[in-house]
Amino acid sequence: MKKTVLVSGGAGFIGSHVTVELIQAGYDVVVADNFSNCDRTCFEGVKRITGKEDIPLEVMDFCDMEAVKALFQKYPIDAVIHFAAYKAVGESVAQPLKYYKNNLTSFLNVLEAAQEKGSFVLFSSSATVYGEPDSVPVTEATPRKPATSPYGNTKTICEDILRDTVKASEGKLKGILLRYFNPIGAHPSALIGELPRGVPNNLVPFITQTAIGKRECLSIFGNDYPTPDGTCLRDYIDIVDLAKAHVFAVSRMVEGKMKQDCEVFNVGTGRPVSVLELVNAFEKVNGVKLNYKFAPRRAGDVTAIWADPTLANTEMGWKATRTVEETLKAAWAWEKHLAGK
Ligand code: WQD
């Protein structure tokens, strides 16, 4: 009997890549999105990649409890992966109430409906909960630190909400927290990828938009950090590797392989890469010259963080396999696809 997975925010960057991998792994997927932060490009791309024209799409807002309840009544949801949230760090600092209201309300509604239905819950968390770690690499036991933005704080709060609700449910509700490091790249088909609205906050879309000529110049925020080349270190994980981690996590839940009712896994490569290394790799692998300059540090940036992914590797059997070069090639192919090149 095929299992059904609801992907909230499933038309977005991570959601669309996860939908592809779930379908290709044999799951039925329901995509639900309010399209507040993306258009139909990626959803249409998912249909082309999978060859499945009849993927159920529910256009709805997860802050609307009635709509969420109706969704869980309409489909036999075995597991829900919750992506639907606002995610711009800078915007969350300027508009905290918008972020707390949307990101917490939507998750509370999903959790309540999942608990009623007995669906497993997978929450899209972030390495941002570690703040500036005292030591690297970080494991799942590394203490979380106060978030440096309301966006990051909504991740921390949602982790606690899931943990407490699972504990009180005495085995009726189970869930997994996946802490992503820095998701980058695009599907090798170049039919889905990152589609930031306006000026990209994140590094790789800014790089590709600069290379294609949409942006004048990339600013590298700070080259005076205590790192080998002075620029920040991150754990950049290929979006397809990240998407596959969700398939491993869903099967762990629905096939009864969980060892605790609420589990947390770091989803990273375990390999630190600096901003400058990423820029140089992008230029080399794509044969393009990037216009960049060094600029002052960006407030709130962490000097260095990367994952110890051992737990996900051993417990879930998942491991990142794509190289940074492959990922940057796919990112560039996606940008060229968007430009019709
Ligand atoms: C990476 C590095 C920047 C842009 C954020 C969120 C995290 C997750 C991933 C959502 C930093 C540098 C960037 C630029 C630059 N988001 N940079 N010039 O800040 O590590 O993580 O995105 O889930 O929660 O916190 O990612 O890509 O913004 O920055 O030099 O134009 O690139 O200073 O060192 P970050 P990022």
pLDDT in tens, 271-321: 999 999 999 999 999 999 999 999 999 999 999 999 999 999 999 999 999
Looking at residue 222, its pLDDT comes to 98
Task: Give bridge partners of residue 310 from the DSSP assignment.
Answer: none
Enter the tokens of residue 140: 């799942």
What confidence tens digit (pLDDT) does each residue in 210-229 have? 999 999 999 999 999 999 99
C-alpha 139/C-alpha 236 separation (Å) is 16
Confidence of residue 1 (pLDDT cuts 50, 70, 90): confident
Q: Which residue has the tokens 């998701």?
A: 183
C-alpha 106/C-alpha 71 separation (Å) is 13
Flag whether pLDDT at 153 surpasses 90. Answer: yes
Instruction: Over range 132-138, report the average pLDDT.
Output: 97
Rg for the chain (alpha carbons), in Å? 19
87 lines ligand 1 (CB under 6 A): yes
C-alpha 150/C-alpha 102 separation (Å) is 12
Longest dimension (CA), the chain: 57
> For residues 292 and 219, is the Cβ–Cβ distance under 8 A?
yes
**What percent of the chain lies above the pLDDT cut of 90?**
96
Give the distance (Å) from ligand 1 centre to CA of residue 300: 10
Flag whether pLDDT at 330 surpasses 90. Answer: yes
Candidate list 99, 130, 151, 180, residue with the active-site label = 151
Report DSSP state, residue 10: T
Give the distance (Å) from ligand 1 centre to CA of residue 266: 18
Looking at residue 335, its pLDDT comes to 97
> For residues 331 and 285, is the Cβ–Cβ distance under 8 A?
no
Which residues lie below 8 Å from residue 3, measured CB to CB, with a gap of 6+?
27, 28, 78, 79, 250, 254
